Amino acid sequence: MFLCLALFPRLLSSALAADRHVRYAIGLPGVYRGMLVGFLAVAALIAIAVWWYAVLNPPWPLIFASFWTVIVIGIAYRDLFRASIELSSDNEHVEWKGVFLHGRTSLWGLRRIRPSRFDPYRYQVIERANGRSVLVWTPLPISRGNFRSFSRALQERNPGIKVQLGWWERLSHALPRCWTVASQLWRR
């Protein structure tokens, strides 16, 4: 009996240590980083070609080239320097990593998790009490389900975090169950 009492704290601490880290990632982050940089490189080459054509044939192509350049720069800034594709958390801190971005904050410094106002279908926002909010890329229904689990785990550790999931998030979580039911009905 004394042996069980002596081992119980160790068993409990090992169980808590196993539950300490929670991780969210979009599939293989290295693959997504490469794809994103490749896509933006192609968009930059197209922008260069559009500017070359615009300089040779003004004035309307110049307006189109200006809009194209602004759009490509905006997407590049958001995806390379603002969006996170990998999150991890222990009992005290939350870390995020993007293509060129990484950071760490206290779990108790988080206020709210909500959909992005600009693009709620692909981005979620983690608001911090001090500092800039963290933009999280959730492009696939599978990654949205993982992000939902991640945000719930954060909320369990810090009940002060308000989690607000948009209708698209709730729908994407429910769709795989609908597909399963539909496929079972189809087989009958």
User: Over the stretch 102-123, which tens digit does the pLDDT of each residue have?
Assistant: 899 898 989 999 888 887 778 8
Task: Give the torsion sign (CA, 171, 83, 116, 112).
Answer: positive
| pLDDT level of residue 10 (50, 70, 90 thresholds) | very low
Query: Can you tell me the distance from the alpha carbon of 87 to that of 89, in angstroms, rounded to the nearest whole number?
Result: 7
Mean pLDDT, rounded, of the chain: 76
Instruction: Give the E-state strand segments of 62-142 in sequence order.
Output: 83-89, 93-98, 102-106, 110-115, 123-128, 134-137
Query: What are the tens digits of pLDDT across the range 44-66?
Result: 898 888 888 888 887 778 888 88
Which segments of 57-166 does DSSP mark as H helices, in order?
60-76, 141-157
Query: Among 33-47, 63-77, 107-121, 174-188, whose mean pLDDT is lowest?
Result: 174-188
As a dihedral over the C-alpha atoms of residue 47, residue 51, residue 53, residue 55, rounded to 10 degrees, the angle is 180
**Percentage with pLDDT > 90 across the chain:** 3
Task: Tell whether the model's pLDDT for residue 185 goes beyond 60.
Answer: no
Please give the model's pTM, rounded to 2 decimal places. Answer: 0.69
Output the six-digit token pair for 182.
């539909």
